[in-house]
Amino acid sequence: MIGGFAAALAPGHARFAGGIGENGAVVRARICAGLEFLGVQLDETRNNVHAPVISAHGGTVTVRVIRTNEEIMISKAIMQRAGFGS
C-alpha cells in the first residue's frame, strides 16, 4: 500500500494535513518509520514542535506539515456536490 502512495506522490514530497497530520507527532513518526528506503528521514525535533518542514537535512524527500481548516474544506466539498460554486 505504501508503494502505491509513493508512486502517486510527486517525487520528493510528502505531506501531512488535518487534525492528526498537523498535531500528531507520534503518528507522523510511526507512518514514516521504515520509509528511509524512499528517502524519508524525519528530524525528531522539528517533528515534535510541529514545524512546517519536519524532514531531516540530507533526506531526498521533503516532509511537510500543512495547516488545514478542515471545516472549510468539508463545506466546500458539500457545496460542490450540491451544485453550488465551482
Q: Is it the case that residue 68 has pLDDT exceeding 60?
A: yes
Can you give the pLDDT at residue 23? 92
**Residue 54: half-sphere exposure toward Cβ, Cα within 13 Å:** 28
Can you give the pLDDT at residue 37? 84
Can you give the pLDDT at residue 36? 87
Q: Where are the domains of the chain?
A: 2-81
d(CA 14, CA 25): 15
**May I ask the CATH architecture of the domain 2-81?**
2-Layer Sandwich (3.30)
Can you give the pLDDT at residue 59? 83
* pLDDT tens digits, 3-45: 666 666 556 788 898 888 999 999 999 999 988 888 899 999 9
d(CA 82, CA 86): 11
Pick the more confident residue, 54 or 12: 54
